[in-house]
Structure 1
Amino acid sequence: MPGDAYPQRIVCLTEEPTEVLYALGEDHRIVGISGFTVRPPRARKEKPKVSAFTSAKIGEILKLEPDLAIGFSDIQADIARELIKAGVEVWISNHRSVDGILAYIRRLGAMVGAYEKAEAYAQRAERHIADIRAAVAQLPRRPKVYFEEWDEPIITGIRWVAEIIGIAGGDDCFPELAREPLAKQRILANGDEVVRRAPDIILGSWCGKRFRPERVVARPGWDTIPAVRHGDLHEIKSPIILQPGPAALFDGLDEIHRIIADWALR
């Protein structure tokens, strides 16, 4: 669009801005994406992949002549610094909660001149959350849920994951660790504390690799955990829960609610 006052050549350094911009019909503005992007599937076919999570092809990005690069968190600080030094405008979001995801959708929409579409999309997510809460109110019991983000060392779930577990009808086993923004602050010294907290359900989403329940149940002492005794170990695919974007509020929430509802009604 000639004369467009909003960014027209955006590089998305993580998946969530790509997913949001496609959902808003603003994908024509994207010129480069993260190699980890799987949502929506067509993005991988249509857009060049120019970054990982902790590294990026700075030269390739600069060739795309972006007028905005969008990333997430302190983990992408080095990429952001390189791009800023090269004269690129950069937005690094740092949201860690469900409310933060909703605000992110609205903010990103406003940045590309699509505030009304973003508001409608955020309200759709809010209605979906309300529908799940209403369904949860009908369930007879709530499980204790342990969410594992990595296995060696053991890393527990971040805040938006814990909040989604709560909306879906469960109680996160490590609420005090969920508030810690950095993964290194959510490392468990060993599995003993998980055994002590005795979760009813174990959810695994080992960032970028397949969850292996057989390895989890073989850990010393874990055979006494209710989730292990009853076989309640489930993988949640990383793209639908570990990115603080729409996927977590729709597919991630739905999948966790399905698992919890099955348990509660058994």
Structure 2
Amino acid sequence: MSHYQRIACLCTEAVETLYLLGAQDLIAGISGFTVYPPEARQDKPKISGFSSGKLEKILAVEPDLVVAFSSLQSDILKDVAAAGVDIQHFNHHDLAGVLRMVRVLGSLTGKTDGAERLAAELQASMDAARAEAAANDAAGLPRPLVYFEEWNDPIITGIGWVGELIALAGGRDAFAERAIHKRAKERILADHREVAARRPDLIVGSWCGKRFRPETVIEREGWQDVPAVRNYEHGHIIEIKSADILAPGPTLITRGLPQLQALIRQWHADRAAGALA
């Protein structure tokens, strides 16, 4: 069965997945926002930004397929399709969608067996995390309340897959009711004191595109009695890089999930030691 030979990836998730499938030789160009794997940035031409791209630059690498993610890339895909190039547009917002993406890319590149293996490995990692959290539940250990901040001005709470990762790691999403909203503007908090009112045990920041600054978080008005802030010196406010938790590819599970698990394990250890303020 024939498959695509020159794939232009406008999203980092596709690049990462194709490398994991051993299909990197089929990649004709990548997004300038690609992070994983690092060698992709050296080996492949950069042909687009995240929400922007010039048709001429994309077509210059002579793709037979263009892969993109999110509604923000819809306009450029219309131009690509009008130019007669096949497109594959992903727009998933949950962990199940990551596994679907892996299998679709495997099918498009003749790597179906590898895709099934990768999907199984990712599922096994999620199952192991779920089992650990369930064991803690069975032992009567409480689940810490975790506040995830995707942006600071305005404050934006976590998207659906972040809430799923928090639950898998053994925590509770402080704004689970907002995580169901796919668009960031629907997850904006009108008042930062809403966070303080929920008193999260742990805070995770991942300000998409810029460095998280916990020292500014602990200085927010009314946050001084938040458990995570009181226990800041114990490492209960951390950054997870956006590439690890905001790009909905395998790294959510291979990098983002382990960091959340480590944070929650530390919280349990501090609680058991009586170290929480």
Range into which the TM-score falls when normalised by the shorter chain: over 0.9
The aligned counterpart of 1:224 is 225
User: 1: CA distance between counterparts of 2:76 and 2:265?
Assistant: 41
Counterparts in 2 of 1:48-63, with a 5 A limit? 48-63=45-60
User: 1: CA distance between counterparts of 2:265 and 2:127?
Assistant: 16
Structure 1 residue 161: deviation in Å?
0.7
Partner residue of 1:130 out of 127, 131, 146 = 127
Q: 1:215-246 CA deviation, whole Å, 9 max, x = no partner?
A: 11111111121111111210001111001100
User: 2: CA distance between counterparts of 1:166 and 1:177?
Assistant: 15
- The reply on whether 1:255 has 2:262 as its aligned counterpart is no
Number of residues of Structure 1 aligned to a counterpart in Structure 2: 263
- The reply on whether 1:242 has 2:216 as its aligned counterpart is no
User: 2: CA distance between counterparts of 1:37 and 1:203?
Assistant: 22
User: 2: CA distance between counterparts of 1:79 and 1:147?
Assistant: 31
Q: 1:89-116 CA deviation, whole Å, 9 max, x = no partner?
A: 1111111101111111111111212111
The aligned counterpart of 2:185 is 184
Structure 1 residue 117: deviation in Å?
0.7
The aligned counterpart of 1:112 is 109
Counterparts in 2 of 1:58-207, with a 5 A limit? 58-139=55-136, 140-207=141-208
Comparing 126-135 with 113-122, which one deviates more in the overlay?
126-135
Structure 1 residue 57: deviation in Å?
2.9
User: 1: CA distance between counterparts of 2:224 and 2:9?
Assistant: 43
The aligned counterpart of 2:35 is 38
Which stretches in structure 2 are left out of the alignment for 5+ residues? 271-277
CA RMSD after TM alignment = 1.1
The aligned counterpart of 2:273 is none
Counterparts in 2 of 1:18-29, with a 5 A limit? 18-29=15-26
Structure 1 residue 149: deviation in Å?
0.4
Check conservation: 2:145, 2:173, Cα contact below 8 A: yes
User: 2: CA distance between counterparts of 1:79 and 1:197?
Assistant: 41
User: 2: CA distance between counterparts of 1:265 and 1:98?
Assistant: 28
Counterpart of 1:184, as a letter, is K
Q: Secondary structure at the match of 1:210?
A: coil
Runs of 4+ in 1 over 3 A off after TM superposition: none
User: 2: CA distance between counterparts of 1:211 and 1:54?
Assistant: 22
Q: 1:119-165 CA deviation, whole Å, 9 max, x = no partner?
A: 01000011111112222234332100000000011011100011001
- Alignment identity in percent? 48
User: 2: CA distance between counterparts of 1:107 and 1:59?
Assistant: 27
User: 2: CA distance between counterparts of 1:80 and 1:170?
Assistant: 38
Check conservation: 2:11, 2:50, Cα contact below 8 A: yes
